[in-house]
Amino acid sequence: MSDTTALPGTPCATPRAGDPPMHRLEVRLPDQVPFAAGTFDTIGPMSRAAFPHRHTFYEIVHVTAGTGTHVVDLARWPLHPPHLGLILPGQLHHWEDARGLDGSVVLFTEDFLLDHPGDRALLRRLGERPWLTLDPPTHARTGRLMAELVEEYGHGADGFATVLRSLLHVLLVRTARLRGPGTHTPPPGRPAAVAEEFARRLARTGAEGRTVRECAELIGVTPGYLAEAVRAATGRTPGALLREARAREAQRLLVGTGLSIRQIAARVGFDDPAYFCRFFRRETGRSPGDFRKHHDRRDPSIEDGDPPA
């Protein structure tokens, strides 16, 4: 059984004091594909959880009805269905004052992305704009795809895992088109594989506390080779991406938990809280205490009247 999945009824691992709970994907059998699909009702009450929590898996939601707000990390997304949303592993999210929430939910781990490994990069790209308001034609197409995923998963006929992966790939590609063309297409070969492995490790909760050298050792390359590969793929350095990941995780914990500044500093790899405060101010322009006290989690680029994608 992977540490990203669990049998039904398996309790979550007890988090450290003050940490939000981390939920694993429930699968019916130990050797079953790490995937689930259904409605908000059939997936269960956790699909509407009103408290901040994390997942070890990806979640795609097609919201067809409801009022309230979906909170993901530092952003608040008022519900004006139809929407298509993505929650990445490790993100903090919850539903706030949700009423009449309806639609479809697809859950899967990274291990499920076997036939289309490029979907990992698509998911990271979609995570940059994880909440879309759909126009009528896009809503209808998305609804049909989600219904096929739910039906195929429910029947479990021969070859259903391959069909599910293909349908999921179509959903991701079509959703990515709504965001326009991508940038920084990595060159093929070993450098691209190294950059992809670095991105996968960086997305895991706790990885932000590592150094570039430690990441390189885990991947099996030198720090110099890692830097060349990551720069070719992203246009940025591994160090810059690690600093960004540290600051992002600190922001999540400041807004979504009651942990002290000292505890948060330790969570993101700083032994010295004062040094952490200097780092946080340099990366965000604000002190941790000020950020926690005054932060408005609404994404300023998303307003209630935002036009459909």
pLDDT tens track for 258-305: 999 999 999 899 999 999 999 999 999 999 999 998 875 444 333 333
pLDDT reading at 64 higher than 90? yes
C-alpha span between 272 and 159 (Å, rounded): 53
Angle at 145 between CA 139 and CA 149, to 5 degrees: 140
- What is the pLDDT, as a whole number, of residue 21? 86
Q: What is the 3-state secondary structure (H, E, C) of 116-155?
A: CCCHHHHHHHHCCCCEEECCHHHHHHHHHHHHHHHHHHHH
Alpha-carbon distance of 22 to 63, in angstroms, equals 23
Which tokens in the block code for residue 284? 């965000």
Sequence-distant (≥ 6) Cβ neighbours of residue 189 within 8 angstroms? none
pLDDT of 31 above 90:
no
Q: What is the pLDDT of residue 202?
A: 82
DSSP letters for 243-299: HHHHHHHHHHHHHH----HHHHHHHTT-S-HHHHHHHHHHHHSS-HHHHHHH---S-
Q: Looking at per-residue confidence, does 296 or 160 come out higher?
A: 160
pLDDT at res. 2: 59
Rounded to whole angstroms, the Cα distance separating 263 from 252 reads 13
- For residue 133, how far is the Cα from the chain centroid? 18
**With left for phi above 0 and alpha for psi between -120 and 50, is residue 198 left, alpha or beta?**
alpha
- Look at residue 183 and tell me whether its pLDDT is greater than 60: no
Contact at 8 Å (CB) between 174 and 43?
no
State the Cα–Cα distance between residues 280 and 274, nearest whole angstrom.
10
pLDDT at 209 over 60: yes
Question: What mean pLDDT, rounded, does the chain reach?
Answer: 86
Cβ–Cβ under 8 Å, residues 85 and 60 = yes
What is the structure's pLDDT at 4? Answer: 75
Q: Phi first, then psi: what are they for 291, rounded to 5°?
A: -60, -45
Q: How far is CA 276 from CA 44, 243, 254, 255, 265, in A?
A: 39, 11, 13, 16, 6
Quote the pLDDT of residue 12: 64
Of the listed ranges 96-100, 215-219, 297-301, the one predicted with least confidence: 297-301
Percent of the chain with pLDDT over 70: 87
Q: Does 188 score more than 90 pLDDT?
A: no
Cβ atoms within 10 Å, residue 301: 8
- Give the pLDDT of residue 9: 62
Confidence of residue 66 (pLDDT cuts 50, 70, 90): very high
Asked whether the predicted pLDDT for residue 152 surpasses 80, the reply is yes
Q: Which residue has the higher pLDDT, 300 or 20?
A: 20
Tokens linked to 189: 């070969």
When pLDDT is cut at 50, 70 and 90, the band that residue 8 belongs to is low
Does the structure show a pLDDT above 70 at 308? no
What is d(CA 250, CA 288) in angstroms, rounded to the nearest whole number?
8
pLDDT at 298: 40
Q: What local confidence, expressed as pLDDT, does residue 71 receive? A: 93
